[in-house]
């Protein structure tokens, strides 16, 4: 819940200028503006093949009397590419569960949107030592019933909740440990080839200063960028770090 309309459109204009074909390379770039700006952002980027657009959330039902909510079909009608599901703030402040996330992922896929499914542990869960159990339960319950083919359109994003908005960052070794555990679960659930093809992003205070070190880890495929995405210069630097990784 950041930026006014003018601020958002200025940010998009800066990104269009800085994210050139040479800089982006093979890196997939997705931006997720607030819902009220989505249509104008999509229109602004219609001639730019380097930046995809996603929503920050969708509802778990097709339609109905859910005032203020947005369905996946509404998002798809705007020619969006993806939607974030189960962000830690949605789980913390709005009571989203693994079960509701599973329904939302289904809605996204049914409407030909990629789903960026967020998982991760709180500080209490990290300190308890049971954090991998928590994370793998989120994987198992949120992805229950989805096939290997479905996973072509699902991206996972690991968010150590204790490192979001706090300035704290999981060390590259801590992040890699979790990503490796997620990858091992994916191998067991979907097979080795599919597991290697599924992108697993790191989403805990990734910044220009630590991006290269994080992206150098073997199981970290990219980043789900928070505060740094509000600066075109910082976001561009992070994209550059991924391209050069």
**Residues known to be catalytic:** 87, 159
* Rounded alpha-carbon distances, angstroms, from residue 235 to 91, 92, 224: 25, 25, 11
C-alpha triplet 45, 3, 21: angle, nearest 5°: 30
Rg (CA), the chain: 17
Strand order in the sheet with 222-223: 30-31, 52-55, 82-85, 114-119, 154-158, 200-202, 222-223
d(CA 116, CA 224): 9
d(CA 21, CA 191): 33
Contact 182, 158 (CB under 8 A): yes
């Amino acid at each position: 819940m950041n930026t006014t309309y003018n601020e958002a459109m200025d940010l998009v204009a800066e990104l269009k200028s800085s994210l050139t074909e040479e800089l982006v390379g093979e890196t997939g770039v997705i931006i997720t503006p607030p819902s009220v700006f989505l249509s104008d952002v999509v229109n602004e980027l219609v001639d730019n093949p380097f930046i995809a657009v996603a929503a920050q959330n969708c509802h778990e039902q097709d339609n109905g009397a859910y005032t203020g909510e947005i369905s996946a079909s509404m998002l798809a009608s705007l020619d969006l590419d993806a939607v974030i599901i189960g962000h830690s703030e949605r789980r913390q402040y709005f009571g989203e569960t693994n079960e509701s996330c599973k329904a939302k992922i289904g809605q996204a896929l049914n409407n030909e949107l990629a789903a960026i499914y967020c998982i991760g542990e709180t500080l209490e869960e990290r300190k308890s030592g049971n954090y991998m159990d928590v994370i793998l339960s989120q994987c198992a319950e949120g992805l229950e019933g989805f096939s290997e083919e479905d996973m072509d359109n699902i991206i996972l994003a690991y968010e150590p909740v204790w490192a979001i908005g706090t300035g704290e960052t999981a060390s590259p070794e801590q992040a890699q440990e979790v990503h490796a555990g997620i990858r091992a679960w994916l191998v067991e659930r979907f097979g080795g080839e599919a597991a290697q093809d599924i992108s697993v992003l790191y989403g805990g205070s990734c910044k220009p200063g630590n991006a290269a070190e994080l992206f150098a880890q073997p199981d970290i495929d990219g980043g789900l960028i928070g505060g740094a995405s509000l600066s075109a210069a910082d976001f561009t630097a992070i994209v550059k770090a991924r391209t050069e990784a």
